[in-house]
């Protein structure tokens, strides 16, 4: 199951973990907006933001190595984009190519680490409750809650189906053919649709009216 690497940090009990999800959500949004609004080459500002982040990472107890690993995982595509954008960036003439490209990279890294700290200290369910309390429409939040519930179920289902298909059509080649994989997705859709109908019937039988209630409410 593709659970993210941060999952096991989420149940820890640092002060950041205990903070209200709404506060963390707003703080993360403010941080990301502040970071992307910083001008190119403002290294001191980046440094200041980095210090704030380092402090937050320190409190959260997420191992810095873990964060570095995830940052590196997304580094290559972002670096490619930065290299593509830097040559024609308005600030390029004044500051040079390398400064512009590394500014984009640095700000992206800061925003990314903010999101990692947010995700690493807040279970997704709490994040969604926080969104709901901040005024995100109930339908959307409930949809996301449902999706989070069934995401794992369906990923496991597609893995089982692929294993079964491999067992039945054994070949030396590692990968399945496109039409088999397309059929796999089609089958997954039909099964998902039928599952949704069953789940919905069961929920109606239990008095579903459209809102998810949890013990925290």
Partner 1 sequence: MVAESEWRVNGPAGTPGGATTMHIPDAVLGPNAAIATSLIGGAGLLYSVKRLERQLGERTTVLMGTMSAFVFAAQMVNFPVMMGVSGHLLGGVLASVLLGPWAGSVVVAAVLIVQCFLFHDGGFSALGANFVNMGLIGAIGGYAIYAPLRRAMAGPKGTLIAAMVAAWFSVLLASGAFAVELAASGRRGDFLRVLGWMALVHSLIGIGEALITGLVVRFVLLRRPDLLEPAGGIVDRPAAAGHWIQWVVAGLAISLAIAAFLAPFACESPDGLEFVGQKLGFLPDESAAPAPPLPSPMPDYQLRLPGLDQAGLATAMAGVVGTLVVFGLSWGMARILPRPKHEGATLDAV
Residues 73-92 that bind partner 1 (CB under 8 A): 73-74, 76-78, 81-90, 92
Give the other-Cβ count within 10 Å of 153's Cβ: 11
| Contact assessment for residue 40 and residue 84, using Cβ atoms and an 8 Å cutoff | no
CB of residue 211 to partner 1, shortest distance in Å: 9
Chain centre to alpha carbon of residue 27: 17
Number of CB atoms found within 10 A of residue 16's CB = 22
Cα angle 204, 150, 186 (rounded to 5 degrees) comes to 100
User: Closest distance between partner 1 and the C-beta of residue 3, in Å?
Assistant: 6
CB of 59 to partner 1, least distance (A): 20
How far apart (Å, rounded) are the C-alpha atoms in residues 138 and 200? 18
Does residue number 57 form part of the binding site for partner 1 (CB under 8 A)? no
Task: Indicate the residue among 2 and 65 with the shorter CB distance to partner 1.
Answer: 2
Least distance in angstroms from the C-beta of 123 to partner 1: 10
The only residue of 16, 35, 49, 57 in contact with partner 1, by rule CB under 8 A: 35
Residue 214 binds partner 1 (CB under 8 A): no
Site string for partner 1, 93-132 (x = CB under 8 A): xx---------x--xx--xx-xxx-xx----x--x-----
The token pair at 169 is 């059509």
Consecutive H or E run containing 50 = helix 43-60
């Amino acid at each position: 199951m593709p659970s993210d690497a941060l999952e096991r940090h989420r149940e820890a009990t640092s002060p950041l973990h205990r903070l209200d999800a709404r506060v963390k959500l707003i703080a993360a949004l403010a941080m990301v907006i502040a970071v992307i609004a910083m001008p190119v080459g403002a290294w001191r500002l980046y440094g200041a933001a980095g210090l704030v982040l380092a402090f937050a990472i320190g409190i959260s107890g997420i191992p810095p190595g873990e964060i570095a690993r995830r940052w590196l995982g997304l580094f290559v595509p972002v670096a490619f984009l930065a290299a593509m954008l830097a040559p024609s960036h308005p600030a390029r003439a004044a500051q040079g190519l390398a400064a512009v490209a590394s500014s984009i990279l640095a700000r992206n890294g800061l925003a990314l680490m903010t999101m990692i700290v947010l995700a690493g200290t807040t279970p997704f369910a709490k994040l969604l409750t926080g969104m709901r309390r901040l005024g995100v429409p109930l339908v959307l939040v409930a949809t996301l809650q449902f999706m989070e519930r069934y995401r794992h179920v369906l990923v496991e289902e597609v893995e089982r189906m692929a294993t079964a298909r491999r067992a039945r059509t054994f070949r030396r080649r590692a990968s399945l053919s496109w039409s088999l994989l397309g059929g796999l997705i089609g089958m997954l859709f039909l099964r998902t649709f039928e599952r949704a109908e069953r789940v919905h019937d069961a929920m109606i039988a239990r008095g579903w009216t459209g809102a998810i209630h949890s013990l925290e409410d």
